[in-house]
Amino acid sequence: MSEQQLFKVTIDNITIEVAPGTSILEAARKIGGDVAPPAMCFYSKLKGSGGKCRTCLVEVSKGSEKDPRPMPKLVASCRTTVMDGMEVKNITSERVVDARAGVVEMLLINHPLDCPICDQAGECHLQDLSYEHGREGTRYEFQRRTFEKHDLGEYIQLHMTRCILCYRCVFTADQLTNKREHGILSRGDHAEIATYIEKSLDNDFIGNVIDVCPVGALTDRTFRFKNRVWFLKPVDAHRDCPTCSGQVTLWYRGDEVFRVTARKDEWGEVESLPDGTTAWICNTCRFDKKHTGDWVIEGPRKISRHSVISQGHYVGMHKPEETIEKVLHGRKPRLMMDIHSVSQVNQPNIDLSQIEGPAHSDDFNPALPKKD
Ligand code: SF4
Ligand code: FES
């Protein structure tokens, strides 16, 4: 059988070869780093996702080897497949940078800036996106739309005001459960995620909507307001679960497990298992197994996103080189601490509590005339 022909694509001046049918976004992710456009709605593990948020816009400066004309408009990289010889600009395009700032401004029109009280803060893709690609202010002057919070079943709360209508949770419910009861109702400014007649979502895998939601619209009711994520230590663990892969991340503070989530990869998506399936986790693992004894601990989780969570995380930490001995030509720093032999300041025989009022240099240097 002949080998599959690969397509050459150049993104931000880096060329790679990918299989036909690969999207520009997935090709860029193979290169990695800043070359990969941000994605708020595309989720590689959910069929049909993408094409909703426009954060992944890129400029195609050369269509293909056969037809080198540039594409006139910016295109959604998650929904545009590569062509052989295609040339794409992401962060190297001023048009893209400007358009992306506009998209962020648009997404933030109705999104409340309540990060200080939002459980998603620290792992919110919209928060990261607005820091990295947004503008400082907004030009929007009208009243923002707001919704009542409501509980989707026992474990999940929907705060629709924060929703950016990415559809990920709808695809998750559709593809992971056999009984989808929620979707996007109405259109335009009135569009909202809702359950039909407030039905509760009690499917075994419905908790995964919390993991796919890029913002704080769907949150874990067993964890809400209990702790900030950057105070927690993520630890990989597994159990022999009859329903799911049982491969999770436990989020500890001290000895207490505050929450259980699926394991996420560098793009913030639930990881794939070695057999190619996705490591979605069941509600029992997520909501009911919150004791260390329920799990076999594997070790600290490496948080690869440049998120604030990784600030409290010690895997792969590089300690700065100790240079003080080098600067002192081999002398140990503790010698420097013995200042009494070279300085009159803070002599141990002077009792500060015996000095009336604030101490002065003449209190330490008897050779100086005393001030009255
Ligand atoms: S609730 Fe979250 S996952 Fe669902 S559409 Fe809104 S932002 Fe997307
Ligand atoms: S990630 Fe491509 S449109 Fe949302």
Predicted confidence at residue 215, as pLDDT, reads 95
Residue 162 CA: nearest ligand 1 atom is 7
Buried b (16+ CB within 10 A) or exposed e, 273-286: eeeeebbbbbbbbb
Residue 342 counted as domain residue = yes
| Helix/strand/coil for 338 | coil
In whole angstroms, give the CA distance from residue 152 to residue 273.
29
- 133 and 89 in one domain? no
Domain extent at residue 268: 229-312
| Ligand 2 pocket member 36 (CB < 6 A) | no
Q: Are residues 120 and 101 in the same domain?
A: no
Query: Of the candidates 61, 79, 107, which is a domain's last residue?
Result: 107
**93 confidence band (pLDDT: 50, 70, 90):** very high
- 119 and 85 within one domain: no
Determine, yes or no, domain membership for 215. yes
Per-residue confidence (pLDDT) for residue 189, from 0 to 100: 73
* Mutate-to-test residue for ligand 1 from 108, 162, 163, 209, highest number of ligand atoms within 8 A of CB: 163
pLDDT of residue 1: 44
pLDDT exceeds cutoff 50 at 347: yes
The gap between the terminal CA atoms of the chain, to the nearest Å, is 102
pTM for the full predicted model: 0.78
- Let me know whether 198 and 275 are in one domain: no
Quote the CA–CA distance of 126 and 200 in Å, as a whole number: 27
51 lines ligand 2 (CB under 6 A): yes
Among 53, 129, 165, which is best to mutate for testing ligand 1, by the most ligand atoms less than 8 A from CB? 165
Q: For 226-289, give the DSSP string.
A: T--GGGSEEEEEE---SSS--EEEEEEETTEEEEEEE-B-TTSSBPBPTTSSB----HIIIII-
Asked if residue 319 is part of any domain, the answer here is no
Angle at 120 between CA 57 and CA 286, to 5 degrees: 110
Does residue 169 lie within any of the structural domains?
Answer: yes
Q: Please indicate, yes or no, whether residues 288 and 205 belong to a single structural domain of this protein.
A: no
- Flag whether 333 is in a domain: yes
User: How far, in Å, from the CA of 267 to the mean position of ligand 2?
Assistant: 13
153 CB near ligand 2 (under 6 Å): no
Residue ending a domain, choose from 194, 220, 246? 220
Residue 94 sits in the same domain as residue 66: yes
Mutate to test the pocket of ligand 1, among 218, 219, 269, 270 (most ligand atoms within 8 A of CB): 218
Average pLDDT, integer, range 35-61? 95
Same-domain pairing of 141 and 216: yes
| Angle in degrees, 0-180, between the axes of helices 94-107 and 125-133, rounded to the nearest 10 | 140
Residues 47, 76 within the same domain: yes
Distance 315 CA to ligand 1 centre (A): 31
Q: Kindly state the average pLDDT of the residues 134-155.
A: 83
Q: Are residues 27 and 80 in the same domain?
A: yes
215 and 235 in a single domain? The answer is no
Q: Is residue 280 part of a domain?
A: yes
Q: For residue 38, give the ligand 2 atom closest to its CA.
A: 1
Residue 197 has pLDDT above 50, yes or no: no
How do 57-62 and 86-89 pair as beta strands?
antiparallel
248 and 211 share a domain?
A: no
CA-based nearest residue to 232, from 123, 157, 88, 343: 123
46 in contact with ligand 2, CB cutoff 6 A: no
Look at residue 141 in the predicted model and tell me its pLDDT.
84
Ligand 1 centre and the CA of 146: distance in Å?
15
Q: Which of 122-131, 148-157, 329-338 has the lowest mean pLDDT?
A: 329-338
Q: Kindly report the protein residue whose alpha carbon is nearest to atom 1 of ligand 2.
A: 39
Tokens, residue 197: 């007649």
Q: Is residue 317 part of a domain?
A: no
Q: What is the C-alpha R_g of the chain?
A: 28
Among 74, 107, 140, which residue terminates a domain? 107
Give me the number of domains the chain comprises: 4
Looking at residue 55, which CATH number applies to its domain? Answer: 3.10.20.740
Least confident of 16-25, 88-97, 214-223, 313-322: 313-322
Testing ligand 2's pocket by substitution, the residue of 24, 45, 52 carrying the most ligand atoms inside 8 A of its CB is: 52
Per-residue model confidence (pLDDT) at position 88: 97
Using the predicted structure, report yes or no on whether residue 72 has a pLDDT greater than 70.
Answer: yes
pLDDT band at 325 (very low <50, low <70, confident <90, very high): confident
The CATH number of the domain holding residue 174 is: 3.30.70.20
Give me 55's structure tokens. 């954060």
Tell me: pLDDT of 336 over 60. no
Over 60: is that where the pLDDT of 362 sits?
Answer: yes
Which residues lie with the beta carbon below 6 Å from any ligand 1 atom?
163-169, 193, 212-215, 217-218
How many helices (H) and strands (E) the chain has is answered by 9, 14
* Same-domain status, 215 and 237: no
What is the pLDDT averaged over residues 95-99? 95
DSSP string, 171-206: HHHHHH-S---EEEES-GGG-EEEEGGG-----TTT
Q: How far apart are the CA of 360 and the centre of ligand 2, in A?
A: 67
Gap from CA of 48 to ligand 1 centroid (Å): 15
Residue 54 lies in a domain: yes
